[in-house]
Amino acid sequence: MQNLILASSSSYRKALLERLQIPFTCVSPDLDERAHNNESAQDQAIRLASEKAQAVAQAFPEATVIGSDQVAELCLIDSKNHSPSVLGKPGNHQRAVEQLSAQSGQLVKFYTAVTVLKGGVPRSALDITEVKFRHLSSAEIETYLKADTPYDCAGSFKAESLGVSLFESIKSDDPSALIGLPLIKLSQMLRDLSISPG
């Protein structure tokens, strides 16, 4: 078993971590990822990133384990009395249509947390990416979903693919975070542990 483990079964996170050119393996943490009662989207992302790392570290205590999680939150711009709602993975075409229709012309915040656990000591970071969706027609939504089939992606889009065409703007300190793993913050945490990218 490699000394560095990504606690994830996500092909997106695996592809992102491969960019750093550090040998690693993937182990699924197999957790219940449902939110706790009254848990904010940000707190949920932070908790799950930590729990994923801890779950895998129990089986591989000598390894350095990376856990990450992302939670998307729809924040309606033109509604004063509407509380934000969490957007999960749609799972099918109809739910994806509903999600993208709700996001049309709105702001979505993506909370992407990462925890690196080594020797029982956690190091954690959080990236908040704000995506402003442009106004989308039903035809645009249908065309996009048929092209990208993003049914396993929170928010029903793939930012690394055609999904970027749905946006009006993105505010982020780390563009990789929107795809699922904040590589800038992760690279710094790994350097702090003398694990050098490249």
pLDDT digits (tens, 9 = 90+) for 64-108: 999 999 999 998 776 565 677 898 889 999 999 999 999 999 999
The first and second tokens of residue 91, run together, are 């799972």
> Tell me, what amino acid is at 10?
S
From CA 33, how far away is CA 146, in angstroms rounded? 28
What structural domains does the chain harbor?
4-192 (3.90.950.10)
Q: What are the pLDDT digits (tens) for 159-177?
A: 889 999 999 999 999 999 9
Provide mean pLDDT across the span 36-46.
Answer: 91
Question: Residue 1's pLDDT band (boundaries 50, 70, 90)?
Answer: very low
- Looking at residue 82, its pLDDT comes to 64
69 is catalytic: yes
Phi/psi zone of residue 143: left (φ > 0), alpha (ψ -120 to 50 degrees), beta?
alpha
Q: Are 7 and 69 in contact (CB under 8 A)?
A: no
Q: Which of 78, 131, 128 is nearest to 100 (CA)?
A: 131
The one catalytic residue in 30, 32, 43, 69 is 69
